[in-house]
Chains A and B, each alone.
Chain A
Amino acid sequence: MFNQRDFFKYLAISVFLHLSVFCFLLDNGNKKKSVCLSVPVEVFFNSPLHKKADQSIAPVSKSSNVQTKQQETDQPMVSSVSDGNSVQTKLSPDERKKTKPVIKDSFVKKKDSPKKGTNKTKIDNKVAEKLKNQTTNRQPVKKGRENVVSKSLPSDNDSNVETFQSPDSPAVSVSYGSQYGEVSFDTKNFKFSYYGNQIGKKIISQSRWVESYGKFRVLVYFKIHKSGTISDVFIKESSGNKEYDKNALDAIYRAVPLPELPESYEEDFLGVFFEFK
C-alpha cells in the first residue's frame, strides 16, 4: 500500500525545504532590522527633493563624521543599503537622493576653524564695511553686529557663498533637502546652543525652494519674543531674486510658533540672523 520510496523522497525534499527556510530566516535575522515595517511611499510635504539635489554641494558642512556615524547606528536603513539585492539597485537613485542630505546635515564645530583658517585672511573688506554701515542704522542690531566678520568659504561652483559668524555666538548650520541655513544671534548674552539648532531646523524644514529653481543666498533678520512669536522680519541682504526672498520670509512665517525662549534669558526678545542658501 505505502510506496515507501516515494514517501521518503518527498520527506527528504520537505526536510530540505524546511532547512532552507530556516537558514534563510537565520541569515535574515542576522541583519539588523528595526521594528517598523512600513511602506515604500515617498512623502514630501515641504520641499520636494529634486533630481538635482545630487549635485548640490554643501559649502559649509564638510566635517560631519560624528553625526553621520550616529545616523548610521540609529537607522538600520543605511546599513541595509549595502546588502546587495535587486530591489535595492532599482531604488538606488532615490536612496542617493535621500541619504545625501542626511549626511550633509551637520553642526558646524570648532574643528572646522583650522580648515577655514586659510581663508580667514581673505576677508572681504567691502562686504564687512557695508555690513557695518547697515548695522549702525538699526538700534537692536548694532550691539552684536560690530563683531560680525564675513568671510568667503571655499566652494566648488559658487564663489558668492558667505557665512556670517560672530565670535561670541557661532553660527549654527542646518539643512533640509537641498536647502541650507545658518542661524546666528545679535547678542553675546544668549548662551544656549540648542535654541539656534531648534529654530534653524524648524524654519529650514518649511522652505519650499527646489534647487533647480536657482541657487541664491539671502540674509533675513527677525526678533523672537519670549512666547515664541516673531516680529520685525525684514530682508537684510537680498538675494536679488524676489521669489527666493519671498520663500525665505514665508518659511519663517510658516515656522511660527517657534519654541519659547529659555527662562533664564533675561531680555524680552532675541534678534536672529537667518541665512538661507
Chain B
Amino acid sequence: MNLNKIIKSTAMKRISFFVFVISHLVVSCFAHDNIYLSLSASQAKRSGIAIEVFVPVGKDANTASFAKYIQEIVKNDLILSRYFNVVDKPSGNFNTKEKLLSLKHMNVFVILAASVSNEGKNLVVKIKMTDVSTGSTIWENKYTDKSCNYRYLAHKISDEIVKRFTGETGIACSKIAFINDGTKFKELYIIDYDGHNLRRLTKDNRINVLPKWSPRGDQIIYTSYLCRNPDLFILNIVENKRKILSKYQGLNVAGSFAPDGERILLTLSMKKYPNLYLINLAGGILRKMTEGMHIDTSPSFAPNGQEIVFISDRAGYPQLYIMNINGGNVRRLTTNGLCDSPEWSPRGDKIVFTMKEARGNHDLYIYDLPTAKIIKLTNNQRNNENPTWSPDGRFVVFYSNRSGKGEIYIMAIDGSGTRKLTEISGTSYTPAWSPVLTR
C-alpha cells in the first residue's frame, strides 16, 4: 500500500515536472520570438559584397588548400564584422552587363577576387576589389607571409577590407585571453577572436585568474596562486617570458593597464582593506588611489588615461564609481544592484559592467556616459559576467553559464548576434579581448 502511494506521488511529481517543463518551453519559445522583434537597424546598415572563389596559382595541392582556407576565413571575418552581407559568387567572366546587374539587384556593390600562390616558402595573396556598377578597380594589394601563417594573413586581409569600407579598424587580428579549468586547474589560454587557434599559455597546476592585455598587445597580466599568495604576474607573449610584478602580502588582484602601457592599476590589501594602487612596471607603488575602510576593486582606465572607473562598496554594497586619475572627483554612477567588473569602452563613451539585481541573475549592462542611461544587454539567460570590449568598441566578450556550463560568448553591443566563442572541455572564465595585434 505504502509503495503504491510512493509510486503515485512520484508519478504526480513527474507530471508536475512535465507541466513545468512544457510551460517553461512555451515561455522560452515565445521569449525567443520576441527577441527577433527587437533586432534593430544594423541589418539595414550593411552593404553587400560578393566573394569570388580564390584562385590558386600553379598546380600545387598545398596552394589549393591554402586558397580554400583563406577564402573561408576572410568570408567568416566579413560576416562576423557585421558590416557586410556576404554573397558567394562563382568564378568566371562577370564583365557582362547582365551578370553585373543581377549582382546589383542583390544589393551587392563590390566584388572581391583573389589569387593565392606559393613563391618559394612565401605565401602570396593578391586581392582585388571591383565596383559592381562601373566595373572599375577600387584597390589591389599583395600580401606575403614568410611562415605560411595563413590564418593571420587572412585576418589581415579582412581587416583591410573593413578599413577601406568603413574607415574604422577591423578586429580580425585580435585574440581573446581566458581561463579554463579543463585540466582540473585554472590555466591561461588565448584564442583567435573567431574561435580558432587555441593555445595554452600556462602549465602551473595552480589557480590563475583575471587576465588583462597590455595596450600594445604584447603582454598579459594576471593573478596567480603559484607562490601560494595571489600575486600579479606579467607574461610577455612575444618572448614567452614571465615574471612576478607585484607580490605584496595579501591580494594583488584585478590589474589593469593604463593606456600608455607604463602603469598598472590594481587592488592591494597589504594586511588592511583592499584599496586601489597605481604601480609601475617594476612593481613600485606610485600612488595610493583610494583610502578608507571599504573594498575598492576592478579598476579600468578611460581611453584618454585621465579617469578610472572602479567598484567600491563604500555605500554598503558594490557600486560603480568614476574618479580622476589624480585622485578626487569621485562620482557614483549606479544606485542599485550589486555591480562588478566594469570596463571603459575604447571609444570612451560607454562603460560595460555586470549587475545583479535583488531577484535576478548577473546580467550585462552598458552605462552610456553622454546620456547617463543604463542599458541592459542580457536577460533571463542565467549569469553573464566579466565583459570586456572588442578593440573597436562594437562587441563585448563575456562569461555566461546559459548552457549550464561556464563558457565564453561574444555579442554586439546592440544586444544582438550572440555567438559562442568555441566548444572546449571544462569551464571557461574571465575573458579579456586583446587590442588589434600585429603578429
* CB neighbours of B106 from chain A (8 A): 66, 70
Contact A257 B168 (CB under 8 A): yes
Report the Cα distance A88→B376, complex, angstroms. Answer: 21
A6-B8, A192-B131, A198-B165 in contact; A38/B418 too (CB < 8 A)? Answer: yes
* A91 interface residue per 8 A CB criterion: yes
Could you tell me the distance in whole angstroms from the C-beta of B361 to the nearest C-beta in chain A?
12
* CB neighbours of B416 from chain A (8 A): 36, 38
Contact residues, A158-217 vs B (CB, 8 A): 175-177, 191-194, 197-198, 201-202, 205
* A241 interface residue per 8 A CB criterion: no
The residue that A85 contacts in the complex, of B14, B33, B163, with Cβ under 8 A, is B33
The residue that B415 contacts in the complex, of A1, A41, A77, A98, with Cβ under 8 A, is A41
* A259 interface residue per 8 A CB criterion: yes
Report the Cα distance A193→B100, complex, angstroms. Answer: 13
A21-B22, A40-B379 in contact; A259/B167 too (CB < 8 A)? Answer: yes
Report the Cα distance A21→B133, complex, angstroms. Answer: 52
Report the Cα distance A71→B41, complex, angstroms. Answer: 11
* A26 interface residue per 8 A CB criterion: no
* CB neighbours of B37 from chain A (8 A): 40, 77, 80-81, 88, 91, 94-95, 98
Contact residues, B119-154 vs A (CB, 8 A): 131-134, 136-140
* A115 interface residue per 8 A CB criterion: no
* A147 interface residue per 8 A CB criterion: no
* B85 interface residue per 8 A CB criterion: yes
Contact A17 B18 (CB under 8 A): yes
* B238 interface residue per 8 A CB criterion: no
Report the Cα distance A258→B166, complex, angstroms. Answer: 6
Interface residue range, chain B: 35 or more
**A-contact 0/1 string along B350-380, CB 8 Å cutoff:** 0000000000000000101000000111111
* CB neighbours of A95 from chain B (8 A): 37
* B44 interface residue per 8 A CB criterion: yes
A10-B11, A13-B15, A70-B107 in contact; A194/B41 too (CB < 8 A)? Answer: no
A positions within 8 Å CB-CB of B? 1-3, 6-7, 10, 13-14, 17-18, 20-21, 24-25, 28, 33-45, 66-67, 70-71, 74-78, 80-81, 83, 85-88, 91, 94-95, 98, 101-102, 105, 107, 175-177, 191-194, 197-198, 201-202, 205, 228, 255-260, 262-264
B positions within 8 Å CB-CB of A? 3-4, 7-8, 11, 14-15, 18-19, 21-22, 25-26, 29-41, 43-45, 47, 85, 105-107, 109-110, 131-134, 136-140, 163-168, 366, 368, 375-381, 411, 413-419
| Further contacts, 13 of them, CB under 8 A, given A40-B38, A42-B40, A102-B43 | A6-B7, A10-B8, A10-B15, A39-B379, A39-B380, A43-B375, A86-B30, A87-B34, A257-B168, A259-B164, A259-B165, A263-B138, A264-B139
> 8 tightest CB-CB pairs across the interface, nearest first?
A77-B36, A194-B109, A10-B11, A193-B133, A257-B167, A191-B134, A263-B139, A262-B138
Query: Would you mind naming 28 contact pairs between A and B with Cβ atoms under 8 Å apart?
Result: A3-B8, A6-B11, A14-B14, A14-B15, A17-B18, A21-B21, A21-B25, A37-B32, A38-B418, A39-B35, A39-B376, A39-B381, A42-B38, A42-B40, A66-B105, A76-B36, A77-B36, A77-B39, A80-B33, A80-B36, A86-B30, A87-B31, A87-B34, A88-B37, A102-B43, A177-B41, A197-B109, A228-B167
